[in-house]
Each structure stands twice: as C-alpha cells, then as structure tokens.
C-alpha cells in the first residue's frame, strides 16, 4: 500500500497538522482537507504539486499569501518569492527526521489510521518533547 503524507508546519518545521491520503490520489485532495485547518499566518510555502487556482483563492480568502511556484504546463506564469521559497527546506527536513524512525521509513503499519498515529507520536516526540 502506498500513501502520501501531507503536513502543515510552523516556521521552525514543527508539524501542526497531518493528513494521509492514498498514494495514487492527487495532492489536491490533501490540500483540500488541510485548508480549513490552516492557522492564521502571513505566508504559506508549498510545493509545485499544490499549484491550483482554487487553492490560491482559498488562501487569499483566508488572508494568506501563497509562495507556490507554478506548474511547468501552466500557460500563465505565476510570480512567487524565490528567496522565501528556499525556506521550504525546513519542511523537507521535518519529513527527513520522521523517516529517521524506522517504523515510518519502512511503513510497518498497513492500516492508515495506525500509520498516521505512529507518525503523530513520532512528530510529537521529535519536536514538542
């Protein structure tokens, strides 16, 4: 079984919210699930996978500025702050630290609920304890 982990992190890379989807599902499903739980922030840094007009509009409605580069097949280019986008490495570091736990890297748990619970426990121990 393949899964994707979607996460909302603060500026230090500590996880605030997690969501697991099936591996073959589009990343927009994870974005749609997490958009309602976004905290009050000024900027949101995201990967190209989250480049969608509806997502940008949802962020604008919440008063959040998006720093998401446009997809390559997009006809009209999207401006984004490249210096700010480089800070996205903190999110990648968070995912890397989670994968230091062997249980997460090898995916021992087959049930998505148990897997998400294990990830939440590991993230809590790594960043909040």
- pLDDT the model gives residue 1: 58
Specify the CATH number for the domain of residue 68: 3.30.420
Q: Which residues of 29-38 are buried (b: 16+ CB within 10 A; e: fewer)?
A: ebbbebbeee
Question: What digits encode the pLDDT tens for the residues 30-54?
Answer: 888 888 888 889 999 998 889 999 9
* 97-105 own/partner pairs: CB under 8 Å, 24+ apart: 97/126, 98/5, 98/122, 98/123, 98/126
Residue 57, domain extent = 3-128
- pLDDT the model gives residue 20: 87
CA distance 124 to 129: 7
CA distance 61 to 59: 5
Closest among 123, 114, 126, 115 to 7, alpha carbons compared: 123
Number of domains in the chain: 1
- pLDDT the model gives residue 83: 93
Question: Tens-of-pLDDT digits for all 129 residues of the chain?
Answer: 578 888 888 888 888 888 888 888 888 888 888 888 888 899 999 988 899 999 999 999 999 999 999 998 988 888 999 999 999 888 888 888 888 888 777 777 778 888 888 888 888 898 877
């Amino acid at each position: 079984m393949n899964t994707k982990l979607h996460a909302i992190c603060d500026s230090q890379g500590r996880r605030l919210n997690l969501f697991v989807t099936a591996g073959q599902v589009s990343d927009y499903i994870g974005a749609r699930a997490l958009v309602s739980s976004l905290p009050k922030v000024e900027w949101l840094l995201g990967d190209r996978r989250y480049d969608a007009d509806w997502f940008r509009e949802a962020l604008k409605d919440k008063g959040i500025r998006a720093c998401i580069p446009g997809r390559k097949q997009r006809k009209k280019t999207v401006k984004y702050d490249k210096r700010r986008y480089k800070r996205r490495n903190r999110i990648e570091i968070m995912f890397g630290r989670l994968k230091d736990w062997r249980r997460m890297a090898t995916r021992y748990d087959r049930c998505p609920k148990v897997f998400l619970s294990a990830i939440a426990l590991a993230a809590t121990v790594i960043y909040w304890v």
